[in-house]
Amino acid sequence: MLTSLALIGKVIEFLLTRIAGKKVDLSLDEKKRAAKAFVRLHEAILSLELILDNFLIYIEGFRVGRNSKIYEVHIKQRVLRNLEPASREFVDSLKQLTPVLSIYDPVLHHLLGEIYVLKLHLLTNFYYIVRQSLEDPKNYESSLTKPIFFNISESDKRFCSLEFSMPTDELLEMDLAYLQQKLNEKLLVEDQYLELLQIVRQNMETVQITYVQVDKLVALLPKLKEHRDNLDSARESLRKFIQDNFSLSDVLYVTK
C-alpha cells in the first residue's frame, strides 16, 4: 500500500467533498461514534504517511551516495515492520466508518464501506480493493490480482529486490464526479463496482527494482514526494473537517 497512498488521498478528498457542509442530524451517540470513526481514520492515514516519510529518507540516502545497494534488513526495518499493521489499521478504520457513512451519504457508504452482497461476498468497491492488498496472493483467483501491493524478494542473501504498484498520473487526475453520478443512479449494481476495480487495475503501474538499480529508485523520489504531499493535504482536510464538525467533548470521548 505504501507506494499507492496518493490514491488513498484522492479518495479521502472525494469523501470530504461529498460530506463537507452537509447538515446531518446526529443523535448524541451517533455523533460520538462518528467522531471516533473519523479520528481513527485520520490517525491511520497519519501512520501510513510517517512510514512513507521514512521510505523517502531511505531513498534520499541513495541520492546523496550513502548507500549503493538495497539491503533486505533495511527495507524490513524501515518499511515492512510497520507497513502491514498500519495498512491493516487503515482498512479497519474504513470498516468502522461504514455505518457512519450510511448516515452521511449512501453513495459513500457503498463506495468506501465494508458492504456484503449476495452470499456474503464483499462488494467490489474501494474497501474491497484496499483490503485485498493485505491478502496472501494464494487466497484468491489470479484474475483478481490485487492492484495495490508492495513486495520484496530476496536477492543474493543480504539484498532484496522491490516490486510495487503506483497509480498513474491519469488515475490521480481522474474526476470522480462521474462515479458519483453513476452510483447515485443505481446503488449496489455489482458490475459498476467491478468497473471501478478495472479502472484502478488498468491505471496502476508495476515497478520492479533490483537491489543494484538504486538510480531507478532515486528517479521515483520526486513523484513519491508529490504523492506524500497529496496524502498530507487530504489528511489535513480531514483534520479540519473533524475540527469543524465535532466538539472537544466528542474528541475527548474518543480518547477515553
Phi, psi of 22 (to 5 degrees): -70, 135
- Grid coordinates belonging to 175: 474526476
State the helix-helix crossing angle for 28-63 and 221-245, rounded to 10 degrees: 160
* pLDDT given at position 137: 54
Q: Tens digits of per-residue pLDDT, 105-136?
A: 877 887 888 877 666 567 778 888 888 888 76
Residues 74-97: b if buried by 16+ CB within 10 A, e if exposed: bbeebbbebbeebbebbbebbebb
* pLDDT given at position 132: 85
Distance CA 241, CA 42 (A): 10
Q: Where are the domains of the chain?
A: 2-250
Instruction: Provide the pLDDT confidence category of residue 69 given band limits of 50, 70 and 90.
Output: very high
Q: Tens digits of per-residue pLDDT, 200-241?
A: 888 899 999 999 999 999 999 999 999 999 999 999 999 999
- Check: CB of residue 3 under 8 Å from CB of residue 165: yes
* pLDDT given at position 136: 65
Average pLDDT taken over every residue of the chain:
85
pTM: 0.88
- Check: CB of residue 255 under 8 Å from CB of residue 40: no
* pLDDT given at position 143: 41
Quote the percentage of the chain above a pLDDT of 90: 48
Distance CA 15, CA 13 (A): 5
